[in-house]
Structure 1
Amino acid sequence: MYRKCFMLLVFLLICLQAVAQQYTTHAVKEGETLYGIAKKYRVTPFNILKFNKELKKDAPLRPNTILVIPLDSKAAETTVAPSDIVKKKEAVPPQEEPVDFKVHRVRKRETLFGIARNYNITEEDIKRYNTELYSSQLDKGMRLQIPVFAEKTEADADEELDNFETYTVKPKETRWSIAHRYGITIDSMLSLNPELSKANNNLAVGQQLVLPKIPGSSVQEQKVDYYISYTVPPKKTLYSLSQEYGMSSEEIIRLNPEIMDRGGLKEGMVIRLPKKRITGPEVNAENYVFYEVKPKQTTFSLTRNLGVGYDELLELNPELALGLKAGMILKLPKERSVDLEVKNSLVLDKINLLDSLNRRHRPRLVYILPFRLDKMNFSDEELALKTLMSRNDIKYSLGLYTGALVALDSLAELGMSVDVVAYDNQLSLDKTKEILRNVNFGQVDAVFGPLDQSSLEEVAIQAANQEVPVIAPVPVNSNLSLNNVFFSYTSDEILRKRMLEFMATQVTDQNVIVIADDKNKLTKAEILKKFPGAKSLAVIEEEKNISINLESLQLLLSETQENWVFVESSNFKLISSVTSILNSVNTPDIKVRMFTTNKNRGFENPVISGSHLSNLQFTYPSAYREDTTEAFTKRYAKRFGGAPDKYAVRGFDLTMDLLLKLGYKLDLFEASRGIGTTQYSGNKFNFVKDPVSGYFNISSYILMYNNMKIEEVKPQP
């Protein structure tokens, strides 16, 4: 296998060092000749021989041989028909142009929101003419171009005031709940509020939205016989009064101009209010989930997919009586969503990505990985192989990329075309910056990598200007405040939470014991809080040893209940000692099982006995499965001559997930919002947008050692 990987590195060296020349690969089929292949690709046989030194001029070609085919510029241009090229950005409606600009110098503690409010424009207006703000923070002393727009006439302003109102987002409200309340679609909400991000569904409590007035909500539209006199009680605010009477604050002031004359609403003030009040049930994500009606959907298919009857749906959504329309936001009681997949309060349709593949989409990917060709001596194959096996950065990169190549082969068989460019960033920020000078992000749909934190951040910042997603294939620091990063590796925090949730469904009358070292005090406290009856066993740390006291453990063990022991540590010496001790007390009379909320490298040390872990049915959360599907393993072995490692599995799964979603929508942000959990050979993905950062994979597995195998554990009801 390593020899195959060595040949791959040679191929990469050829491709990555070429500037003007373009290449493709060709798998030789039975009966093909060098002349026939050259004719097919419109090159000369000499050029093929030049880049495939193992070929002999007059020798027959062996089937399944992978050839590097150099393409001349004309041939390269004809590989993609103009009709196959899909434009990434859709046309946007013309925006109002400024009539002038002002210069604003940013002062200490100023925010973009505050500056926009002072100039009566949106944050997006400022960013549009100061594009560096899309990828960097506001800094003191920065000089901003502030657009000045033509003032609206009084008639325009009055008309706008009459038709729209400002709505303040309340806690637990979502875009879906607000759209449902106002009877509009999400697209309409985005049109009215262009500052809302299309890359996520976030709303902040207190955020103000422009929305069309609900019919019957204005004073002029009220059918009232007379007004009532209302005496303002103590501590009553204009906001609470507007909520109580279903009117906006502006409408109350319009009826009672003396409020402004007296400096606001005062205790004891007598004002007039319409007798009729508009009231309605509170609609938020705590009580309901929401569903967006799709084009061509029928009432029958809708009720079948949601598992509710039409009468019940109509009772919750009276507007259905006027007919089902695409874009309508329907609400459902939260308790009816148990069997539905819900993300951010929105019910997701079950989508088969393979069936939904649009073969006219031709995604364009860039792989930036540390292949470390600078460390390889290709003139000495033995030394090169030794370097390959000794460097983790090369092994990780080759694993990810070889897995990706198998995914590309699989998708090609499904009729999907993909444009791929790979770069070696040599684990260097400077090299990454050099690479990025040659990357046109306007012609890229996604970037895979890099692996190191600083390079990943640099790529993400530059890609953010063109709203290009960047995939982090391995664990990295997730503190990047960039909306376009997809953190594909489930974090330890999410895994710990998932494990505790799982254990909460399993623990009944078991005797729970917690063993945690000083570095895991918080985890121990969390477990003890989750299971109030749990017991804690102290860790004894000496100068050269760390363990537990056997007699103290025996006092805590139960003979009538199963003993479930959490071991929380990254110290392999402690883990090894505890595992051996637990295994020794695990007898037919005393049943002991071992668990952890974080299976880190300490558990993978070879001194820890696999048979002991199996005897203890060691159970833990994991971001990936230990085994893979047979189909992928066979396909990988056929191409590379060996079994895939976990990085190859990850490269395959991530590339499949990325390309199937791009083949469905050609917009990873939009696809991720509407697609739930996807699962492949050894990994599964469910990306959820963080309010202040990127997209995080929240999927996980619960795995258990059993009979010297590692099995996935499914929660038992």
Structure 2
Amino acid sequence: MIKYFSVLCLVLFCSFNTVNAQNFSTHQVKRGETLESISKQYYVTTSQILELNPDAKKALKPNTILIIPISKSTKPNETITNELDGFREHTVQRKETLYSLSKEYNVSEEDIKKYNNSLYANPLRKGDVIQIPIYKTTKTLTETATTKPYIVLPKEGKWRVAYKFGISVEELEALNPKMGDTLQEGQQINVPSNKVAKVEKIDEAYSYYKVLPKEGFYRLKLKLGLEQDELEALNPDLKETGLIEGMVLKVPFSKNTSTGTITPETEKVTLSNRLLSSDTKRLAVLLPFRLNRVDFDSITDTKQSIKKDPYLNASLDFYSGILFALDSLKNMGISVKVDVFDTKHEVSEVGKIIENNNFESYDAVIGPLTTETFEKAASELKALNVPIISPIGTNLKLYDHVFQSRPADDLLKRKVINFVKSDSLKNNIVIVSDAKNQNIANELKREFNYSRMVFSKKTKSGADANYVNVSDLKSVLKPGKNYVFLETESEGFASNVTSILASLTRQKVSEDDTTSSEVILITTNFNAAFEGDEISNEHLSKLQFHFSTISKSYNETDHRDFIKKYETLYNITPDKRAVRGFDLTMDVILRLATSNDLFLSVNLAPSTEYVENKFAYKKETFGGYYNTAVYLVKYENLNLVEVKP
């Protein structure tokens, strides 16, 4: 049975209580600051700060946004800024660390890394000669920010308003605790009044990027492909403020925008050859085992429970792949600590699990499986920015930290359409469909406006009869190559069409033709209808049946060792769920072992592939990551083989 691992403590979130309509400022807590130092900076008392920020009593964490009441005092704020004034060389001695050097020279660890980029990827070593930045400290007096009302314009979201007034999204939310998740046209909110002269215009020719926690210029260079000076040229205020979590940056549209089309696949990377970190990785796995429903009275009862419960069955298969991956990673020298949680297929249980455990300590979270439970976990972990990977979900709400590992159905459809379009010869295209899939047929007709369409015969009542005649198909075929789309979920209709087409392929359409017709069968929606007992694999092979899929069947010759080891461990051949559990876990952990975090790995390892699955993540401009890697396969000699581009 699945063994639960112990975890640490309750995560504390900073939340804001109701704030009365008056003037407020916001403050982003810096490392080392206390309530006393902040209160002196703004000429208010600590009790006034705590009244608006009650959670600050528990802990004052760096980067927390505090609401600060505007003091009635006329004294201006004193702002201390550090300006780079040069460098001093330092030769690293034995036992010296970034922390000890930061204390010795009174600079932050991030500042040392900033001017010694190799330290982002490599540890500090004895004998290294590094540059220590020297800063000139200056003090400036500034007026305390006040707020003014602002009416939300059509199509304005939080990031647009934040960008307009030169603040971060988090600061905007802090000034408006009740404004909700989305802004409504005509809604009145508070914005800083001292930013009036610097209101930024939204340029639709550019894209915009929200800075995530702990992101510096080096990470943005890897993510966006932009140097610091390029970002500062597009966002002049950066030179003064530096990067702030939640701030919105203008970036070239082509640098980080996602489209609905499939781009050419990038070169695959073998991560096992590029291991960077030897630190133990922490992984949380959330699956619907529903062990509370299992009858443990006897082995027979337990087996019966597993057989009856599809969620437990699926979870055990998937988890067996995870365990097998962990064993393989251990042999590579990669240490992984895994905590497994039973979500019981309940949204409320997911909330309890996250509330009662320290998820901030995890490098990544895999699961839950179902859309509702995954949405709950993703929304709860949003504040922590912990990467969470959905094993099978599609059309998810892509928060900044979400990875949708299963490619969307539209990508599968587009893969097939692009394949047909890539054939430079003028070929005949036929679309065969039943009434249920007429919308797909019409969509294909728009893609290939010169194609010809054939629909299922009807019964007297007007329902699909799920068959066509030989003459229906023979009349639309031409000498030479014919691409035939078959769009159906009816096994009987699929059997009828494939058997007729198999009899017609490589035959002369009429006595006058000198060339026979070749039929290549295709579908944009591969489903159970094409795998039923009525379907002949010989017919599918003869028709070179093409379809796209998120995973290909593993080759027993190429993966003999994988299959043999799995069968030895579990006394059964791995199914698709087990292989997906293996592939996904291998990808997540190897990305963590070769990059500073999962987010950066998207650029450092753009495309990876394992036994049956591959991963090529793209990022939404304002959102998370989605996998664009799909396979195009075909039947050949009774086997499924990948169609290479």
- TM-score, normalised to structure 2's length? 0.65
> Are residues 1:171 and 2:101 paired?
no
Q: Describe the shift of the 1:525–1:627 C-alpha distance in structure 2 as closer, same or farther (beyond 3 A).
A: same
CA RMSD of aligned residues (A): 4.3
Once the 2 structures are TM-superposed, how far is the Cα of residue 340 of structure 1 from its aligned partner?
Answer: 9.7
Q: Is the 8 A contact 2:164 2:202 kept in 1?
A: no
User: What are structure 2's unaligned runs of at least 5 residues?
Assistant: 9-96, 98-107, 112-136, 210-220, 257-262, 509-516
Q: Structure 2 vs 1, CA of residues 634 and 192 (structure 1 numbering), >3 Å: closer, same or farther? A: farther
Q: Is 1:707–2:637 an aligned residue pair? A: yes
Output the CA distance in 2 between the equivalents of 1:184 and 1:583: 62
1:638 Cα shift? 2.2
What does the per-residue CA deviation read over 1:498-545, in whole Å, with 9 as the maximum and x for residues that have no partner? 111112223624332111233433433343344444221122232473
Question: Equivalent of 2:169, from 108, 113, 123?
Answer: 123
Which amino acid is 2:409 matched to? Answer: D
Match of 1:563 in 2: 482
CA distance 1:148–1:441, shift in 2 (3 Å): farther
Partner Cα separation in structure 1 for residue 146 and residue 627 of structure 2: 43
Q: Is the 8 A contact 1:124 1:195 kept in 2?
A: no
* Secondary structure, aligned partner of 2:385: coil
CA distance in 2, matches of 1:116, 1:174: 12
Secondary structure of 1:410 counterpart: helix
Q: Is the 8 A contact 2:545 2:634 kept in 1?
A: yes
Residue 615 to residue 352, structure 1, CA distance change in 2 (3 Å): closer
Q: Aligned ranges for residues 101-500 of structure 1 at < 5 Å?
A: 111-113=157-159, 116=162, 121-127=167-173, 136-138=181-183, 169=203, 171=205, 184-185=229-230, 192-193=237-238, 285=254, 352-478=270-396, 480-500=397-417
Residue 618 of structure 2 is aligned to residue 618 of structure 1: no
Structure 1 CA distance for aligned equivalents of residues 303 and 243 of structure 2: 52
Using CA pairs below 8 Å that are at least 6 residues apart, which structure has the higher relative contact order? 2
1:514–1:567 CA contact under 8 A, matched in 2: yes
CA deviation map 1:573-605 (0-9, x unaligned): 322222222233345545333111221233233
Give, as a single letter, the amino acid of the residue that structure 2 aligns with 1:552.
D
Superimposed CA distance per residue, residues 657-691 of structure 1 (whole angstroms, 9 cap, x where no aligned partner)? 11111111231112113321111110001011123
Q: Pick one of 473, 481, 486 that aligns with 1:553.
A: 473
Which residue of structure 1 lines up, in the alignment, with residue 432 of structure 2?
515
Q: Aligned partners of 1:594 and 1:458: how far apart in 2? A: 41
Contact 1:99–1:148 (8 Å) recurs in 2: no
Contact map agreement 2:152 2:183 (CA 8 A) in 1: no
Deviation track 1:421-474 (CA, whole Å, cap 9, x = no partner) reads: 000101111111111112223211111010111111111011110111111101
How far apart in 2 are the matches of 1:117 and 1:199?
A: 10
Partner of 1:257: none
Aligned to 1:682: 612
Conserved 8 A contact 1:359-1:663: yes
Relative to 1, partners in 2 of residues 1:445 and 1:19: Cα closer, same or farther, differing over 3 Å? closer
* CA distance in 2 between partners of 1:614 and 1:564 (Å): 15
Is the contact between residue 370 and residue 397 of structure 1 (CA under 8 Å) also seen in structure 2?
A: yes
Change (3 A) 1:481 1:661: closer
Distance 2:226 2:562 in 1: 48
TM-score in terms of structure 1 length: 0.59
Distance 1:174 1:497 in 2: 27
Q: Equivalents in 2 of 1:98, 1:355: separation in Å? A: 55
Identity across matched positions, percent: 28
Amino acid of the structure 2 residue aligned with 1:362: T
Between the aligned partners of 2:507 and 2:245, the Cα distance in structure 1 is 59
Q: Which runs of 5+ in 1 are unaligned?
A: 1-9, 21-82, 84-89, 210-282, 291-338, 343-347
Q: Deviations over 1:6-43 (max 9, x none)?
A: xxxx2x1x436x689xxxxxxxxxxxxxxxxxxxxxxx
Q: Give, in whole Å, the separation in 2 of the partners of 1:143 and 1:665.
A: 43
Read off the aligned partner of 1:621 and give its amino acid letter: S
Q: 1:184 to 1:105 in 2, by over 3 A?
A: closer
Larger Rg, first or second structure (1 or 2): 1
Query: Number of matched residues?
Result: 484
Deviation at 1:556, TM superposition (A): 1.6
Equivalent residue letter for 2:205: P
Distance 2:148 2:387 in 1: 32
Residues 577 and 107 of structure 1: CA distance in aligned 2, closer, same or farther (over 3 Å): same
Q: Tell which deviates more after alignment, 107-116 or 538-547.
A: 107-116
Q: Secondary structure at the match of 1:546?
A: coil
- For residue 535 of structure 2, the aligned residue among 590, 608, 623 is 608
Q: Residue 537 of structure 1 aligns to a residue in which SS? A: strand
Q: In structure 2, what residue type is equivalent to 1:713? A: V
Counterpart AA for 1:550: V
